[in-house]
Structure 1
């Protein structure tokens, strides 16, 4: 009798090993290293917002106070200014592993089912997979230390003038008054140089008009005439800048990241902005807040019938099931107060459906 029972017991043991089911559980406690398992995570969506900011710097000309007097130009400022503006916003989304959605796959005698196929379709992310990512960047054009206004006049600031002095000399026992001429070095004041620069501007305009007048004969034509007119325009712009100043524009960009978390819709301060300081951190109260808003997702009909959460699945473990996410579409906006700067429709994994799939399934 005992000899017949032993083979039966051995057969039941092997049958039990072969019939062991694949078990998939959310990792909500310390991992047991004694159990053999494959771990994977569900994906979550990260929103990257690249903001291009323009810095406009105004440098007043040295003759700004005389622009109206000598050129008739009103409203010229003699105060240096730096202003910022948002010129462009780009939005990108990338997927990364969700640290609160890690699952352990405990194999059966037949292995791990269609685990590799499921990961190849991008519905789950193996823990050793290289995830696409984006660096948080800050690029900025550096300002050079070159001299802004080089050409201030066609004549030097220091000139020599001849002055006449009178002295006395003894002639025939009589002192007589004798003129004496001496050369003196004098420095012209700013108003005199401004007057000279204004006169030079008018002379350039007169010379250009002579070239453009058909009644005036000149030996230049074709490309030579175009080069002359172009150089006259450049000279006028340089001398005119001595009165109206120069404006320089520098562009720089910074990338901000945001991780959606509430499927009911959400709003948060992405960064702050100031016309005098540019892009600021969300905690810098010297700028006004720039908001990122996401609407409640557009769930399909009867979505609640299959909707579930990791916590709900963790209470009652399901056997022979893989868990994956189906992303849903929502609308996102970047707002400056009531003004909408940009908007985009995007798919968000963590807003979507936590679904189940048999560990062994058919498909190409």
Structure 2
């Protein structure tokens, strides 16, 4: 008897009484189906290469990334099974004396009075792409003064002669010159910080004053370092995807979502992204010890199949767990007395 009551609790009523369409005293209900909701969080890194990246090895002694890059990777995944009404498996029944059982199951939350679960509005997209900004990183002028020697012809007593004339011109500094100045500033900041720490300065620093001075020098050094090694912006994206398993899918493999370096998390049908696959391996549902009598009205219900669920990117397993999936189980019935 306990097994029977437990089995009854497996089905879900999909609608309230349809008095206008069904005979008086009958109920219309639907068998339950499982919807697997995958909640994904990803981080997109937008890297901006420094304008002096090509000179990092020459002036600072280590290589730097030379090109802007965008990458995106999954940081967390949550898989949750929900139950909703399967509108392709609707039945009518006259519960009769079984109405108290219906009310009891409803009070316990084991019978739903609606046709499905409420929707989720997790729809956040990345903002428009921006460009790296290094405009306020330098302290030296972008212009320099160069001395040029010009010649002019001067008429002498018997002939013309060339006379050198010095002229100063203002020209734009080369990229390498500016890179060298930035590197020199980095080393000056480092030396200044060491002098303060060791006390090798004319001024006396102590307590909060020393900490503030060191912090500011470190901040300035970091600003100049970005001119060579660039910087990254991190953006977090959260999306939710619903997968409805189908008994007709022989392999029981579903593309849950895709991820693209440029667009982040995208839908399963967006071919620009790398797919993440949900694989379900259902266990066999044991046959009942004794079959119910086929006489009279029958109440149908589903016994879910316990499935081993595995989410992977095609190579690495991201998440694995066990979940019940109703539509991959079996449909059973038991007699209902209408008197």
TM-score (normalised: structure 1): 0.72
Question: How many residues are paired up?
Answer: 319
- In the alignment, which of 301, 312, 322 is matched to residue 345 of structure 1? 322
Is it true that 1:106 corresponds to 2:94 in the alignment?
A: yes
In 2 relative to 1, CA 58–317 (structure 1 residues): closer, same or farther, beyond 3 Å? Answer: farther
Deviations 1:82-101 (A, max 9, x none): 12222211111222111122
Deviations 1:71-117 (A, max 9, x none): 2222x232221122222111112221111222213365x69453222
SS at match of 1:260: coil
Deviations 1:210-242 (A, max 9, x none): 012145563211111111111111111111111
Match of 2:230 in 1: 245
Match of 1:270 in 2: 256
Cα pair 1:105 1:112 within 8 Å, conserved: no
Is it true that 1:35 corresponds to 2:23 in the alignment?
A: yes
Match of 1:57 in 2: 46
- In the alignment, which of 136, 139, 149 is matched to residue 151 of structure 1? 136
Counterparts of 1:328 and 1:198, CA distance in 2: 65
- In the alignment, which of 263, 287, 302 is matched to residue 303 of structure 1? 287
Cα pair 2:296 2:335 within 8 Å, conserved: no
Cα pair 1:269 1:292 within 8 Å, conserved: yes
Q: Quote the offset at 1:169 in angstroms.
A: 9.5
Deviations 1:100-149 (A, max 9, x none): 222213365x69453222333444433xx374334263323425747521
TM-score (normalised: structure 2): 0.77
Gaps of 5+ in 1: 1-30
RMSD over equivalenced CA pairs, Å: 3.9
Q: Quote the offset at 1:256 in angstroms.
A: 1.6
Cα pair 1:298 1:328 within 8 Å, conserved: yes
Choose 237-246 or 143-152, whichever is displaced more: 143-152
Equivalent runs, 1:12-91 vs 2, <5 Å: 33=21, 35-36=23-24, 37-74=26-63, 76-91=64-79
Gaps of 5+ in 2: 1-18
Cα pair 1:52 1:88 within 8 Å, conserved: yes
Equivalent runs, 1:1-364 vs 2, <5 Å: 33=21, 35-36=23-24, 37-74=26-63, 76-106=64-94, 112=99, 114-126=101-113, 129=114, 131-135=116-120, 137-142=122-127, 145=130, 148-159=133-144, 184-214=169-199, 216=201, 218-262=203-247, 266-275=252-261, 278-297=264-283, 299=285, 302-305=286-289, 318-319=296-297, 321-356=298-333, 359=336
